[in-house]
Structure 1
Amino acid sequence: MNEIINYFSTIPSSHRSLILVSGITIFWLIENAFPLFNFSYKKWHHAGINIFLTLTTIVINFLLAFVLLKTADWTVENNFGILQWLPEIPLWLYTLIGLLLLDLIGAYLVHLVEHKTKFLWRFHLIHHTDTWIDTTTANRHHPGESVIRFTFTTLGVLIVGSPMWMVFLYQTLSVIATQFNHANIALPKKWDTIMSYLIVSPDMHKVHHHYKLPYTDSNYGNIFSVWDRLFGTFRTLPKEEIVYGIDTHMKNEEHNELKNLLKIPFQKQRSSEKN
């Protein structure tokens, strides 16, 4: 455990970038070999759009990283936050509690709020417009949403009182988890079901990308599945019945052109399941 803490206390930016690129590459190769769905689409064009939006997320997080660093340092120095108020416990338990709470606020809560708040939904909508869900969809976020998610992550660090090494560990696990649960891979149903009791599995998250309610508003988790089960937002749907996308933007020119995706939050919103 100490080795993990030491590594993430000083993890270079190059290592974090390598983890992100390696994850996309590995899951891309796996989904090509064992696809869940056989899509008929221009894979490189689709990937190009999603990777561009991923790069904007990286840039925004890099530019705002000092806020996260200052927040984490402040909580430790001022003994503020849930972790700082805990009695002495084993390091592994301390880490698990911290990761669970960061996932609750930085992933589950912000995701739920984006779905329930009309203004924030305008930005998150871009993620749901994808009709070909694969590992590149993981960070298909409008730049505005990247700022929203960063804000919630910072809030989570403040409330949880997590040191910076834990933040880096959480972000690394979060990136790998979202690449995994978006990947277009076919796992044996039994494996996927067992996995979904602990972490967000591919089949579990694919339900969230079904184009209509109530499935769109379910399975908000990213790393841990416990929050959806605990708060009653867990749903299942046979993969044969899943239709990707969002019902207001099913036309190719609406969800497969970068220029339009960037404009969507500022366009007049149509009457739909979200309005």
Structure 2
Amino acid sequence: MQDLIHYFETIPSLHRSLILVGGLTIFWLIESAVPLFKFNYKKWKHAWPNIFFTLTTVVINFVLAFLLLKSADWVTANNFGIINWLPAIPLWLYVFLGILLLDFFGAYLAHLVEHKVSILWMVHLVHHTDHNVDTTTANRHHPIESVIRFTFTLIGVILVGAPIGIVMLYQSLSLVSSQFNHANIKLPKRIDKILSYLLVSPDMHKVHHHYRLPYTDSNYGNIFSIWDRLLGTYMEYDRDKLIYGVDVFPDEEKNGRVTELLKQPFQPYEKPTITP
């Protein structure tokens, strides 16, 4: 475990890029072999805007990465944060709790707030207006949302007290988990269900992408399903009846154009409060 943390303390940018590209490639191939839905689309054409937003997310995180490093160094030097205030525990448990809590602040809480605050929901809409959810949808985030998510992660690093090794490990796991649970993969229902007791499985997360409330406002987690289950935001829905997208932004052609998606957060829109 110590060797693993040491590796992520100094992980080269090339290796982080390989995790991103490798995950996309693996899940792209798997979903092509065993798809949940047989989408009537040109896969590369659909992927283009999602890859564009993946690249903008990478750039923003790269530019702001020094803030994560400074914060992680500060909490370590000052013994600050939740996991540093605990009694002595084994390293594996220290790492697990660090990742679990970072998943809460950086993923679950950020996601929940984006759905509950109207102005943030408008920004997050870009992610939800994908009509053909697959592994490339994972990082389909407007640049403004990338900054918002980074801010929540930064706050999480400080409150959790995570050293940089745990932060980098968390970000890598978060990336691969998101690629996995967005992938258009048809797992056996029983296996998916078993996975969902601990991790966010594909079927669990796809409920969140259903086009109508209350399902859109559920299953906010990314790595661990525990936060949704504990905090009452876990929901189930028949995966065969899922319809992706947002009911008030139904134009699939517009929702596949980068220029339209960049403007989307600034369009007038009021989120429905009840399901028709």
Deviations 1:2-49 (A, max 9, x none): 121111111101000000000000000000000000000121111011
Counterpart residue number, 1:149:
149
The residue correspondences of 1:124-163 to structure 2 (distance < 5 A) are: 124-163=124-163
Give the match's secondary structure for 1:64: helix
Counterpart residue number, 2:204:
204
The residue correspondences of 1:2-41 to structure 2 (distance < 5 A) are: 2-41=2-41
The code of the aligned residue for 1:45 comes to K
Deviations 1:65-117 (A, max 9, x none): 00111011011111111111111100111111111100000000000000000
- In the TM superposition, what is the alpha-carbon distance from 1:181 to its structure 2 partner? 0.2
Counterpart residue number, 2:168:
168
The code of the aligned residue for 2:83 comes to L
Counterpart residue number, 1:123:
123
- In the TM superposition, what is the alpha-carbon distance from 1:202 to its structure 2 partner? 0.2
Paired residues in the alignment total 274
Q: Supply the distance in 1 between the matched residues of 2:204 and 2:270 (Cα, whole angstroms).
A: 28
- In the TM superposition, what is the alpha-carbon distance from 1:150 to its structure 2 partner? 0.1
The code of the aligned residue for 1:209 comes to H
Counterpart residue number, 1:240:
240
Give the match's secondary structure for 2:253: helix
- In the TM superposition, what is the alpha-carbon distance from 1:272 to its structure 2 partner? 3.5
CA RMSD of aligned residues (A): 1.0
Structure 1 runs (4+) greater than 2 angstroms displaced? 270-274
Q: Supply the distance in 1 between the matched residues of 2:141 and 2:158 (Cα, whole angstroms).
A: 24
Give the match's secondary structure for 1:109: helix
* Unaligned stretches of 5+ residues in structure 1: none
Counterpart residue number, 2:254:
254
Counterpart residue number, 1:69:
69
Q: Supply the distance in 2 between the matched residues of 1:111 and 1:46 (Cα, whole angstroms).
A: 24
Contact 1:247 1:272 in 2 (8 A): no
Deviations 1:145-188 (A, max 9, x none): 00000000000000000000000000000000000000001000
The residue correspondences of 1:169-184 to structure 2 (distance < 5 A) are: 169-184=169-184
- In the TM superposition, what is the alpha-carbon distance from 1:248 to its structure 2 partner? 1.1
The code of the aligned residue for 1:154 comes to L
The code of the aligned residue for 1:55 comes to L
User: Is the aligned partner of 1:99 residue 2:95?
Assistant: no
Identity of aligned residues (%): 65
Contact 2:126 2:141 in 1 (8 A): yes
